[in-house]
Chain A
Amino acid sequence: MKWSYIGAIVVGAYFLFPLYVLFLLAFNSPTFTILARYPALLPISLTLNNLVVSLQGSAFIDPLIKSLETATLVGVITLILAVPAGYGLSRLPRTVAYPILVLLLVTNMMPAIVIGIPIAVEFIKLHLFESVVGLALAQTLITLPLATFILQGTFSSIPQDLENQARVDGAGLLRRLFSILLPIAAPGIAAAFLISWMFSWDEFTYAILLIPFHSTLPVTIYSDVTRGNLLAGVAFSLVFTLPVIVLTFALQKYLRGEYLAGGIKG
């Protein structure tokens, strides 16, 4: 028991250390971090100055808005397509549904860069190049199979008899969908949205290929760092991680299994 705690602490520290360094870079005055020969590992001179300077002006706001727009659009498009797909697959016989699911996931084995370039060429023709909609559509290529897979599982866990009961009680298809199926599937839908959103949030390859000039946050951080604008990169990175943490906490209650069971077990 004691050893497993120590193990957990070691692994935790290993994953949290980079975040800690990020924190130091963001809140320590640069003389103790990037300008120092031996950077301090303790928060010696805490300051908000770095952030205030970096986050002012449109250099930060524009990419942030673009990232938020893209991620939310990806989440929405994914759900619109994956909810019916997942429901349909869950009601098909397994022998039919499983090959289709496997096929869907196989598309994800293709490296993004291989698909990204032809997509970019096509999007220039379609005037979707340098546009949030275009990027969101490309990123949905990756999130859609994953979300369909998750939702297929969610809908499969809702017994067919629950739907039959609703039919007997006089509910048509739309009523069944909105009163019974979607509320019960809410945890799975939340998980699918969260995963799609977060995937898009830190997606890089499609972003740099499809919006090379006024891009999303990951691409902006990358160009800041490569151009030597380290402090801005650090500040952006810090802001960049916050929504992920907030979203995970906000949707946490949906990510528990208890919500799914009960009432319908035999």
Chain B
Amino acid sequence: MTVELVELVKVYGTKRVLDGVTEKIESGEFFVILGPSGEGKSTLLRIMAGIEKPDKGKIIVDGDDVTNKPPEKRNVAMVFQNYALYPNMTVRENIEFPLKMKGEKKEQIREKVEKVAGLLGISEILDKKVTKISGGQQQRVAIARAIVRNPSYYLLDEPLSNLDARMRTVARGELKRIQKELKGTFIYVTHDQKEALSLADRVAVLHAGKFEQVSKPKELYDYPRTKWVAEFIGDFPMNFVPGEILGERVEEVGFRPEWVNVGKGDLTCSVESVEAVGDSRYLICVFKGYGITILSEEYYDVGDEVRFEITQYRKFKDGRLEE
């Protein structure tokens, strides 16, 4: 179902954590909210769940204004960062809980739980206590509890952050598969841009209380709308130099480390330090007094002069992308 956020504002003390967040999330979309820690991502998610109330603004789900509805009346599923499993119950009881609250029939509950457990591969541990299973299993149980019902939308607050790196990659793939199968509206919060770019249909970058940019992952990387986004997204931030250096009549130009050919062209810079990633190297150089990072397949040493050319770049004015 569609979820519309209209001019959401939330103030804590003197800090405007959310300062007019507006967006329409489409039905069946995997929508990722990306931002550094402390930017109010979780607050936004809690407002969508109904746990916290916005100071201003509205939330409209399929045309209904739910802003003042408490969470128990919203029919929304949520996976918390720490899973929030009920420690006094077994795995089965945990997954059953939301169905019981809806007052569904016993056989129906049983059937649904078995089905979801099968989908997530936790059928064998259904009768174990949730305190006696591993972290990865706990995470599956939390997801099972969220998807067992048929909510209007799903909220996920960094559900993979407590898993180790390898498990995370597996779980990420699984999550995407589940979302496709359910055709559910997933709203997912993370600070990990790899996670955001690989999961999302659309990514919203939250900065200074606003969605600074909402777009498809590829577009977010290739056409960052502001300088801040350009620097935030990517293993290395986008390089920025004044336009006149490249003969452009524009304030600044930006280019990604990959958008260069090293070893040819007529620009030169000197290497300050080298960062190896896989079998390629990021050269951190000084170019006419500006620090830049470029990707090279050749090996260069600190102090070397490197020739390079820029294959593509974006023009920026006042910190914003010029079309």
Shortest CB–CB separation between residue B128 and chain A, in angstroms? 11
The answer on a CB contact under 8 Å between A161 and B88 is no
Query: What is the CA–CA distance of A184 and B129 in the complex, to the nearest angstrom?
Result: 13
Partner of A180, one of B71, B86, B102, B145: B86
The answer on a CB contact under 8 Å between B87 and A164 is no
Query: What is the CA–CA distance of A261 and B97 in the complex, to the nearest angstrom?
Result: 20
B49's nearest neighbour on chain A, judged by CB, is A168
**Residues of chain A within 8 A of B81, CB atoms compared:** 266
The answer on a CB contact under 8 Å between A263 and B86 is yes
The answer on a CB contact under 8 Å between A169 and B80 is no
Asked, given contacts A159-B82, A165-B80, A265-B82, whether A180 binds B98 with beta carbons under 8 Å apart, the answer is no
The answer on a CB contact under 8 Å between B87 and A184 is yes
The answer on a CB contact under 8 Å between A164 and B88 is no
A175 interfacial contact with B, CB 8 Å: yes
The answer on a CB contact under 8 Å between B85 and A167 is no
* Residues of A within 8 A of B (CB-CB), count: 24
Asked, given contacts A180-B88, A263-B86, whether A168 binds B51 with beta carbons under 8 Å apart, the answer is yes
**Contact bitstring A182-207, B, C-beta under 8 A = 1, else 0:** 01101000000000000000000000
Partner of A175, one of B51, B84, B101: B101
B198 interfacial contact with A, CB 8 Å: no
The answer on a CB contact under 8 Å between A164 and B71 is yes
B312 interfacial contact with A, CB 8 Å: no
Asked, given contacts A170-B102, A261-B131, whether A164 binds B86 with beta carbons under 8 Å apart, the answer is no
**Residues of chain B within 8 A of A263, CB atoms compared:** 83, 85-87, 129-131, 138
The answer on a CB contact under 8 Å between B101 and A169 is yes
Query: What is the CA–CA distance of A167 and B51 in the complex, to the nearest angstrom?
Result: 8
Query: What is the CA–CA distance of A184 and B87 in the complex, to the nearest angstrom?
Result: 7
The answer on a CB contact under 8 Å between B82 and A183 is no
The answer on a CB contact under 8 Å between B145 and A169 is yes
In chain B, positions 53-106 with a C-beta closer than 8 Å to chain A are 70-72, 74-78, 80-88, 97-98, 101-102
Partner of B162, one of A168, A175, A266: A266
**Residues of chain A within 8 A of B83, CB atoms compared:** 263-264
**Residues of chain A within 8 A of B51, CB atoms compared:** 164, 167-168
Query: What is the CA–CA distance of A164 and B79 in the complex, to the nearest angstrom?
Result: 11
The answer on a CB contact under 8 Å between A264 and B84 is yes
B102's nearest neighbour on chain A, judged by CB, is A170
The answer on a CB contact under 8 Å between A170 and B101 is yes
The answer on a CB contact under 8 Å between A184 and B80 is no
Query: What is the CA–CA distance of A162 and B129 in the complex, to the nearest angstrom?
Result: 16
B52's nearest neighbour on chain A, judged by CB, is A164
**Residues of chain A within 8 A of B72, CB atoms compared:** 167-172
Shortest CB–CB separation between residue A256 and chain B, in angstroms? 13
**Contact bitstring A152-164, B, C-beta under 8 A = 1, else 0:** 0000000101101
In chain A, positions 96-149 with a C-beta closer than 8 Å to chain B are none
The answer on a CB contact under 8 Å between B98 and A170 is yes
Query: What is the CA–CA distance of A171 and B70 in the complex, to the nearest angstrom?
Result: 11
**Residues of chain A within 8 A of B71, CB atoms compared:** 164, 167-168
B76's nearest neighbour on chain A, judged by CB, is A168
A93 interfacial contact with B, CB 8 Å: no
B80's nearest neighbour on chain A, judged by CB, is A161
**Residues of chain A within 8 A of B87, CB atoms compared:** 184, 261-264
Shortest CB–CB separation between residue B103 and chain A, in angstroms? 9
Asked, given contacts A168-B71, A261-B131, A262-B131, whether A162 binds B84 with beta carbons under 8 Å apart, the answer is yes
**Residues of chain B within 8 A of A264, CB atoms compared:** 82-85, 87
Query: What is the CA–CA distance of A175 and B76 in the complex, to the nearest angstrom?
Result: 18
Query: What is the CA–CA distance of A168 and B75 in the complex, to the nearest angstrom?
Result: 7
Query: What is the CA–CA distance of A175 and B162 in the complex, to the nearest angstrom?
Result: 29
A182's nearest neighbour on chain B, judged by CB, is B88
The answer on a CB contact under 8 Å between B77 and A171 is no
The answer on a CB contact under 8 Å between B49 and A169 is no
The answer on a CB contact under 8 Å between B101 and A165 is no
The answer on a CB contact under 8 Å between B131 and A164 is no
Query: What is the CA–CA distance of A262 and B129 in the complex, to the nearest angstrom?
Result: 10
The answer on a CB contact under 8 Å between A183 and B97 is no
Most buried by A among B88, B98, B101, B130: B88
Asked, given contacts A164-B49, A171-B72, A171-B101, whether A183 binds B78 with beta carbons under 8 Å apart, the answer is no
- A168-B50, A168-B77, A170-B72 given; 6 more Cβ-contact pairs under 8 Å: A159-B84, A168-B76, A169-B72, A179-B86, A184-B87, A263-B138
A-B contact pairs, 16 of them (CB 8 A): A164-B46, A165-B86, A167-B71, A167-B72, A169-B101, A169-B145, A170-B72, A170-B75, A170-B98, A179-B86, A179-B97, A184-B86, A186-B88, A261-B87, A264-B85, A264-B87
* Among all A-B residue pairs, the 3 with the closest Cβ atoms: A262-B131, A170-B101, A263-B87
